[in-house]
Amino acid sequence: MAENFFRELMADALAKSPEELSKVLGEPSKICDIFVQRIYKDESLQKFVWGVSVVIFEGDELVESSTYATFHRWNLAKKYAKALVDFFKQKGYETYLKGELGE
């Protein structure tokens, strides 16, 4: 039964314009993943800093992927990442904190 519903849904979706389809499916979700991670400074993997990186998607489209800041102390990187989570949530993003969180 679910398979028939899915087939009918896809057949109906293919017959619609992108504008009509977005009305049916709703707006694409805005997702923001924030990572706390090590950024190694040498090939021996001995020296590193803590990076806070942000990856933003709107629907299936990658909008941004960049490292916002680096820190020498892990706890500062984690505090900054949590502040970014709050910021992006206020902007309407579904936000996730990932990486080396120590939890």
Q: What is the pLDDT of residue 18?
A: 59
| DSSP-assigned states of every residue in the chain | -HHHHHHHHHHHHHTS-HHHHHHHH-SPPEEEEEEEEEEESSTTS--EEEEEEEEEEETTEEEEEEEEEEESSHHHHHHHHHHHHHHHHHTT-EEEEEES---
| Mean pLDDT (whole number) for 91-100 | 92
The per-residue pLDDT for range 9-30, each reduced to its tens digit, is: 665 656 666 566 566 666 668 9
Q: What is the pLDDT of residue 102?
A: 74
The per-residue pLDDT for range 39-77, each reduced to its tens digit, is: 999 998 899 999 999 999 988 889 999 999 999 999 999
Say whether pLDDT at 2 is over 60: no
